[in-house]
Structure 1
Amino acid sequence: MAPARAPSAQLLRSLKGLNLHNSTINGAKAFSTTCNHGEQAQAEASRESFYKNPKPETVFVPRLEKKLVAAGTPPVGSRRRRMALAQSQGVPFDQLPFQCFQEARKVLIEDRQEKVKQIETIRARIARLQEADPNIHRGGEAYKQKRLDSMRRELEHLKILADINDPNVKRRFEDGKGDMNKPIYRFLADRKWREYRRKILVQRITQMKVVPDVTPHCDPTVDIKINFGRNNVQSGDFVDSAVSERPCQLTIQTFEKEPKLITVAIVDPDVPNLQKDSFDSRCHFLATNIELTPTTPQVDLATLTESQIVVPWLPPTAQKGSPYHRLAIVVCQQKNNVPIDIAVAKKNINQHDFRMRTTMTKHMLHPIGATLFRTKWDDNMAEVMKRAGIEGADMELKRIKVEPLPYKRRNPSTFR
């Protein structure tokens, strides 16, 4: 044994011979301030359940978070808030025993009461203006409607200001339980989307030339998400041909209260044209008269009715040897929410020589959102093209070699 470890080894041997455990417990019973055995067992049971059966609302250990994600129940809210809830012993959020927090809530409640009074005043003014005779104003009915629209916008703004600082509203929004029928949740969702997702979306559609190759302009005001079954596709991702053979599901989230009639077009602007030595544009899907509201953002292209579909789903394909193809998804709002005649639209559509600009001009469509995914030649592409009836699965495109002009050649025969 090493000399440095000898004293510690002797001390351990001497302590083993003493019954210090029972004497310490018996001596500490008279002045101990800890919980009894029942409370200690309950605490150990709750600690054991926390690790064996974690809850999405209170889990904050990264290992347990991964366990919940794998089980299909991801954690709710931020990790800091989940840790605070786990250590608060079940105290309601409004009754947290923090003096500064409670004093701040009093200030917020008073401010909300003032906003509610202003809302009631605006509503009374709107009611009086609606009953008033429009001829008393110089502008007549047009001036009256203009005033009503301005007052309604101010009313919606006051509703947002009344709830914007409420901690319960922010908590429900972070948990994904916000009601999109209420203006405050639409405002918070719009602000969150514009902080990050919209910037990425604008970068994608401009960097990959969806604007202006497909549509001349687009100022996105709706959030578009693409799903092929369980596959969540980000803007600009490559999608396997076996996955994109079936129609996709779109989540088109609008942040405005009024319902909209929209038209959804999926366009491939990268179809090679060897005769013209350029590219053509092909329409892979076109549907109109789709009603969109803040609470019903899901649009399943496979379940739309025949009275809405102008061009049925055509699987995206890319011939071998050709560069990748962009599949642009353009969402347009119909002017004044007027339905489009499907029979007239089918007559004016040429699927294999499709021009989005022409369609937007004829039917008075305004683009409110755009995104894209990409496809390229893969192992399943030949079978997909045969099933879809698209020619060229047995051919490989090769770039035509253009001979340089004589004065641009490196070693022309005349210089030798």
Structure 2
Amino acid sequence: MAPSRAPSAQLLRSLRGLDLNAGPSHAARAFSTSCRYGEEAQVQRESFYKNPNPETAFVPRLERKLMAAGTAPIGSRRRRMAIAQSQGVPFDQLPFQCFQEARKILIEDRQEKLKQIETMRARIARLQDTTGDTLPKGGEPYKQKRLASMRKELEHLKILADINDPNVKRRFEDKKGDMSKPIYRFLADRKWREYRRKILVQRITQLKVVPDVTPHCDPILDIKMSFGRKSVQPGDFVDSAVSELPPQLNIQSFEKEQRLVTVVVVDPDVPNLAADSFDSRCHFLATNIQLGPTAPQVDLAKLADDQVLVPWLPPTAQKGAPYHRLSILVLQQKDNTPIDKGVALKNIRQDDFKARSFMTRHMLHPIGATLFRTKWDDSMTEVMTRAGIEGADMELKRVKVEPLPYKRRNPSTFR
């Protein structure tokens, strides 16, 4: 017998040896009006492939289907696969021994950090209650400096207490983190600096926002810009019909304190035909804008009248001119001191606006920047007419520079 037929022959002999009539367990099934298990009606369930869940879809085809529908998958693919295969078990109770043992160590470490937090709070309260007679050498300035250092250390301990908590990381990945808590501000700041800040610094450096508009800028705010539903990345070209209305800004701060900031939009590429150079124009200016980590939305069209110094002027570019850079600067007001509108308007010229002079006069420094670009398009004439800007019927051309006499070609010598 061939080796390939040996298992089948043994199976056949075992089947022949079975007594199908032996024992009550092989008795014939009695008549019944109920259907057999194999013939029962199947329950119609919602197809996982037709309606994928963003929390459990880990197949690339389903991820593309979700993205096409406008819904982004939640978390990493590895995490979505674990949730899909866990059969509804809560995240804290996943039956993995290594995971549960690691959670015990993290819980013990968190309890230790909580004790250090309570100790630090008691030290801060004790130092605040000290009077002038019991202050150490240095007096009141030393006390305030010491308090600031201790409060900074307290915030750092709060971050260390939650940095390794899997539930915290999960809520942050699900975009459900509370920005009023230091741990979520820390995670958001770290994620922003890993990629988005690098792209932003590259754009404002390559497109010469620094130093053409501001001498320096070290961004500490994540600025997202959109015109209605159109999201604009730093340096993108925006059609004139889209940018005719002011944009909406999402200015995310990663610090606990509230800020008073000034938002200014400057175009440094306005052609000056008389001087054969470029001038700067202010397209928007607003001061005394309250900014915090939990309220990042700033709609330039809905600011109060006492905040707006220069209303929105649609960005324009004449035909034949190079593209214009519309730079958006977020300036920190010194000591969160409000700027008086009447005093500020005395020294502001919209058509010859100098951002450096404005910053020096009111003691402002840039903490955030972004930009978009505009150029001549089909709807530019209508936008310039509605805004009352001259030059829609003019086309700029480069002046032909005649070569020097000793560099001119002599046609008579050509062969």
Find the counterpart in structure 2 of residue 100 from structure 1: 98
Q: 1:200-219 residue pairs with structure 2 within 5 A?
A: 200-219=199-218
Q: What is the Cα-based RMSD across aligned positions, in Å?
A: 2.3
Find the counterpart in structure 1 of residue 399 from structure 2: 400
Identity of aligned residues (%): 79
1:171 corresponds to which letter in structure 2?
A: R
Moved over 4 A (4+): 412-416
Find the counterpart in structure 2 of residue 154 from structure 1: 153
1:300-355 deviations in Å (ceiling 9; x for gaps): 00000110000000000000000000000000010000000011111111000001
Find the counterpart in structure 2 of residue 78 from structure 1: 76
Give the Å deviation of 1:161: 0.5
Aligned residues: 382
Query: Secondary structure of 1:51's match?
Result: coil
Give the Å deviation of 1:59: 1.7
Give the Å deviation of 1:71: 3.7
1:180-235 deviations in Å (ceiling 9; x for gaps): 00000000000000000000000000000000000000000001111000000000
Find the counterpart in structure 2 of residue 229 from structure 1: 228
1:28-65 deviations in Å (ceiling 9; x for gaps): x99xxxxx959x988x755x432233222112233333
1:289–1:340 contact (8 Å) kept in structure 2? yes
Are 1:111 and 2:109 an aligned pair?
yes
Find the counterpart in structure 2 of residue 387 from structure 1: 386
- The farther-off stretch of 401-410 and 320-329 is 401-410
Question: Which residue of the other structure, out of 121, 125, 132, is the alignment partner of 1:123?
Answer: 121
- The farther-off stretch of 405-414 and 49-58 is 405-414
Find the counterpart in structure 1 of residue 272 from structure 2: 273
1:150 corresponds to which letter in structure 2?
A: S
1:98–1:305: structure 2 CA closer, same or farther, 3 Å change rule? same
Aligned partners of 2:412 and 2:131: how far apart in 1? 92
Aligned partners of 1:412 and 1:224: how far apart in 2? 59
2:147 corresponds to which letter in structure 1?
A: L
1:157 corresponds to which letter in structure 2?
A: H
Aligned partners of 1:408 and 1:254: how far apart in 2? 59
TM-score, reference length from structure 1: 0.88
2:90 corresponds to which letter in structure 1?
A: P
Find the counterpart in structure 2 of residue 4 from structure 1: none
1:134-175 deviations in Å (ceiling 9; x for gaps): 442221111100000000000000000111111111111011
Give the Å deviation of 1:82: 1.2
Question: Which residue of the other structure, out of 42, 56, 59, is the alignment partner of 1:58?
Answer: 56
Query: Secondary structure of 2:309's match?
Result: strand
Aligned partners of 1:93 and 1:410: how far apart in 2? 81
Find the counterpart in structure 1 of residue 162 from structure 2: 163
Q: 1:12-411 residue pairs with structure 2 within 5 A?
A: 37=37, 45-46=44-45, 48-135=46-133, 136-411=135-410
Aligned partners of 2:73 and 2:118: how far apart in 1? 39
1:406–1:412 contact (8 Å) kept in structure 2? no
Higher helix proportion, which one?
A: 1
TM-score, reference length from structure 2: 0.88
2:84 corresponds to which letter in structure 1?
A: A
1:233-265 deviations in Å (ceiling 9; x for gaps): 000000000000001000110100000000000
Give the Å deviation of 1:364: 0.6
1:103 corresponds to which letter in structure 2?
A: E
1:124–1:222: structure 2 CA closer, same or farther, 3 Å change rule? same
Query: Secondary structure of 2:236's match?
Result: coil
Aligned partners of 1:333 and 1:413: how far apart in 2? 67
1:39-97 deviations in Å (ceiling 9; x for gaps): x988x755x43223322211223333333334443321122211211111000111111
Give the Å deviation of 1:414: 11
Aligned partners of 1:106 and 1:61: how far apart in 2? 32
Give the Å deviation of 1:412: 9.0
2:103 corresponds to which letter in structure 1?
A: R
1:134–1:144 contact (8 Å) kept in structure 2? no
Aligned partners of 1:70 and 1:202: how far apart in 2? 31
1:142 corresponds to which letter in structure 2?
A: P
Aligned partners of 2:78 and 2:259: how far apart in 1? 39
Give the Å deviation of 1:405: 2.3
Aligned partners of 1:86 and 1:37: how far apart in 2? 28
| Unaligned runs of at least 5 residues, structure 1 | 1-22, 24-28, 31-35
